[in-house]
C-alpha cells in the first residue's frame, strides 16, 4: 500500500474499542436497511452487461469477474484486504470473496448498501473511507441488478422499483441523494412515525458527495449548511418504512460512534513532488485572495464556516432551490434536529447560498463544486477554460492539473451501447450540472494561479 493511504484509513484499522472504531465497524458490518440483493445475484450480474464486456467476463476467472464488477460500479475492496480471491495474495482460502467497502455483506450473502457507497472512494487506486466515491455508478448497477433478478426469478427490492421513477444519478460519481432524504422524510411526522400523505414531486439534481475528512471542521451539514451537525442528523437516510421510531432511538448510541468516526478522519497527504518555494508563494496569494471563505491552514489555521450568498458565488443554484423552506422546516421540527452539538436547534430555513468548504485534502477529492461539474483544480482556477462537456479517460489522476484525467468533447457519445460508458460523460448544459460561478480566480494572473495550484497540493 502507498504510504499516503494509511492516513485515511488509520482509524479504520487501529484503536479497537474506541468510539471511532465501533462506528466504522457499524457502517461496514451491520445492515441498517433491508438488503438490496444477494451474493448469488451479484455473481450473475455480468450476464446483463453489454456483449463485448460479457464475453470478456465469460472467459475470466470468478475472481477477475468480480474485480470487473467492482470496477464497473465503482466498488472497492475494504482497507487491508488483498486484491486476490481465496488462496491468492495471502488471502485465507476460507475467507470467501472480497467484500466491498460500500456494502455490508452478511453471513447469508445479503448485500445492504451503507453510507460508504457515496463516502468511501479511492485515492490513487487505494481504498479510502471518507473520500468521495467519484466512481460510484448506482444507476447502472441498479438497472443491471434488476435485470439479473428478473432473469433469475428473484424478488425486486425497493431500490429496484424506486429507481424506475426516481433517478439515482445521471453521471458516474454523482447521486440524487438529497432527494432521497426529502422523499423519506415526506412520509414521517416529527416523531418519525410513518404517516399517509399524497406523493410529492421533487426537483431531481445530482450531487457530488462531500469528503468526510472535513466533518470535524463543519458546524452544519450539507452544502448550504442548513442542518446543524449532530449524530441524529446522520441517521436520516435510514427512514425506510421498516425502520420505525423505536429503531432510531435504539441506534442513537451507535450513531454517536459513527459521529466519532467521521470526526476522527483526516485527509491523505499528496504523495508526489511539490515545489515548496512556489507553494509558499501560493500560500501568500491564497491567504490574501481565498482564505476569507475557505479558511487558513497549518499551525494556527482556522475555518470560518462561511455561507457565501448566491449572488456572490454564482454557481449552479438548482441545489439551493431544490430544498423548499417547507421541507427544511419539516426537518427542523423533527427528532433529527434535536441531536445537534448545541442545546438549541439551529436549522437554517432559508439559506441564501452555499458554504465554502474546507480545502484539506482537496487534491484527493475531484471533481469540484457541489455538483461535480469541474474536473480539476486547474479548471477551478481558470473559469474561462472549464470544459462544457467532458468525459473521463480512465480512473488515474491528472497530476499536472490536479484532478480527473478527462477529455473535452462536443457531446455525449449516445451511439455507445454501453450505458455505463455514456454516464462517464459530464454535460454541464444539463439541469443542475452547470459549471459557472466561483469566478474569483479570474482576478489572479497566470503566475499567481500556478502558485495557488501548487499550494493546494500541500493541504
Contact between 77 and 128 under an 8 Å Cβ cutoff? The reply is no
pLDDT value of position 345: 59
pLDDT value of position 256: 96
92 falls in which pLDDT band (50, 70, 90)? low
Q: Which of 79-83, 119-123, 150-154, 163-167 has the lowest mean pLDDT?
A: 79-83
Average pLDDT over residues 315-338: 91
Mean pLDDT for all residues in the chain: 90
Convert the pLDDT of each residue in 108-130 to its tens digit: 999 999 999 999 999 999 999 99
Helix 19-29 to helix 5-13 angle (10° resolution) is 90
Average pLDDT over residues 198-224: 92
pLDDT value of position 93: 53
pLDDT value of position 89: 46
pLDDT value of position 206: 92
Q: Is 126 helix (H, G, I), strand (E, B) or coil?
A: strand
pLDDT value of position 197: 87
Q: How far apart are CA 68 and CA 63, in angstroms?
A: 9
367 closest CA partner among 227, 247, 206, 232:
206
End-to-end CA, the chain:
21
Contact between 378 and 453 under an 8 Å Cβ cutoff? The reply is yes
2 falls in which pLDDT band (50, 70, 90)? very low
* Residue environment code for 38-64, b if the CB has 16+ CB neighbours within 10 A, otherwise e: bbebbbbbbebbeeeeeeebeeeeebe
Convert the pLDDT of each residue in 6-54 to its tens digit: 344 433 434 457 999 999 999 999 999 999 999 999 999 999 999 999 9
Average pLDDT over residues 206-212: 94
pLDDT value of position 94: 57
Residue-by-residue DSSP string for 322-370 = HS-HHHHHHHHTSGGGGGBSSSS----SS--EEEPPP-TTGGGS-SBST
Residue 248: CA atoms inside 13 Å, Cβ hemisphere, count? Answer: 26
pLDDT value of position 311: 96
Contact between 278 and 451 under an 8 Å Cβ cutoff? The reply is yes
Which comes out higher in pLDDT, residue 327 or 70?
Answer: 70
Helices (H), 167-244: 177-186
* Residue environment code for 273-292, b if the CB has 16+ CB neighbours within 10 A, otherwise e: eeeeebbebbbebbbebbbe
Convert the pLDDT of each residue in 400-433 to its tens digit: 999 999 999 999 988 888 989 999 999 999 999 9
Convert the pLDDT of each residue in 371-404 to its tens digit: 999 999 999 999 999 999 999 999 999 999 999 9
Beta-bridge mates of residue 404: 397
Average pLDDT over residues 438-449: 97
Average pLDDT over residues 159-176: 90
Amino acid at each position: 500500500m502507498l504510504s499516503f493511504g494509511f492516513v485515511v484509513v488509520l482509524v479504520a484499522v487501529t484503536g479497537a474499542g474506541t468510539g471511532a472504531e465501533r462506528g466504522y465497524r457499524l457502517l461496514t458490518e451491520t445492515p441498517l436497511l433491508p438488503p438490496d440483493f444477494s451474493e448469488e445475484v451479484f455473481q450473475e450480474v455480468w450476464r446483463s452487461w453489454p456483449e463485448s464486456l460479457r464475453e470478456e467476463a465469460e472467459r475470466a476467472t470468478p475472481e477477475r469477474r468480480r474485480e470487473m464488477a467492482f470496477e464497473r460500479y465503482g466498488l472497492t475492496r475494504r482497507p487491508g484486504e488483498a486484491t486476490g480471491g481465496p488462496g491468492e495474495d495471502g488471502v485465507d482460502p476460507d475467507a470467501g470473496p472480497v467484500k466491498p467497502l460500500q456494502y455490508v455483506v452478511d453471513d447469508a450473502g445479503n448485500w445492504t448498501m451503507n453510507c460508504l457507497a457515496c463516502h468511501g472512494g479511492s485515492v490513487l487506486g487505494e481504498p479510502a473511507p471518507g473520500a468521495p466515491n467519484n466512481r460510484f455508478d448506482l444507476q447502472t448497477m441498479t438497472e443491471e441488478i434488476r435485470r439479473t433478478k428478473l432473469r433469475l426469478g428473484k424478488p425486486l427490492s425497493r431500490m429496484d422499483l424506486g429507481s424506475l421513477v426516481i433517478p439515482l444519478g445521471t453521471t458516474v460519481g454523482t447521486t440524487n441523494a438529497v432527494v432521497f432524504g426529502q422523499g423519506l422524510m415526506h412520509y414521517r411526522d416529527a416523531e418519525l412515525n410513518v404517516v399517509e400523505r399524497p406523493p410529492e414531486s421533487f426537483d431531481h439534481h445530482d450531487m457530488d458527495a462531500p469528503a468526510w475528512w472535513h466533518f470535524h471542521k463543519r458546524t452544519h451539514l450539507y452544502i448550504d449548511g442548513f442542518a446543524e451537525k449532530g449524530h441524529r442528523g446522520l441517521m436520516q437516510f435510514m427512514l425506510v418504512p421498516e425502520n420505525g421510531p423505536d429503531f432510531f432511538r435504539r441506534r442513537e448510541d451507535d450513531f454517536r460512534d459513527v459521529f466519532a468516526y467521521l470526526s476522527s478522519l483526516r485527509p491523505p497527504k499528496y504523495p508526489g513532488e511539490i515545489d515548496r518555494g512556489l507553494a509558499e508563494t501560493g500560500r501568500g496569494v491564497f491567504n490574501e485572495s481565498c482564505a476569507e471563505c475557505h479558511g487558513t491552514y497549518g499551525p494556527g489555521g482556522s475555518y470560518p464556516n462561511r455561507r457565501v450568498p448566491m449572488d456572490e458565488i454564482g454557481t449552479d443554484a438548482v441545489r439551493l432551490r431544490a430544498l423548499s423552506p417547507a421541507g427544511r422546516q419539516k426537518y427542523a421540527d423533527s427528532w433529527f434536529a434535536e441531536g445537534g452539538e448545541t442545546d438549541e436547534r439551529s436549522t437554517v430555513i432559508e439559506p441564501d447560498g452555499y458554504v465554502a468548504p474546507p480545502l484539506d485534502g482537496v487534491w484527493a477529492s475531484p471533481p469540484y463544486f457541489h455538483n461535480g461539474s469541474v474536473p480539476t483544480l486547474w479548471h477551478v482556477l481558470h473559469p474561462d477554460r472549464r470544459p462544457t462537456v467532458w468525459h473521463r479517460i480512465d480512473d488515474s489522476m491528472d497530476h499536472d492539473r490536479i484532478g480527473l484525467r478527462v477529455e473535452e468533447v462536443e457531446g455525449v457519445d449516445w451511439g455507445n451501447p454501453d450505458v455505463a460508458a455514456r454516464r462517464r460523460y459530464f454535460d454541464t448544459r444539463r439541469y443542475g450540472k452547470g459549471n459557472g460561478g466561483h469566478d474569483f480566480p479570474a482576478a489572479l494572473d497566470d503566475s499567481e494561479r500556478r502558485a495557488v495550484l501548487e499550494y493546494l497540493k500541500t493541504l
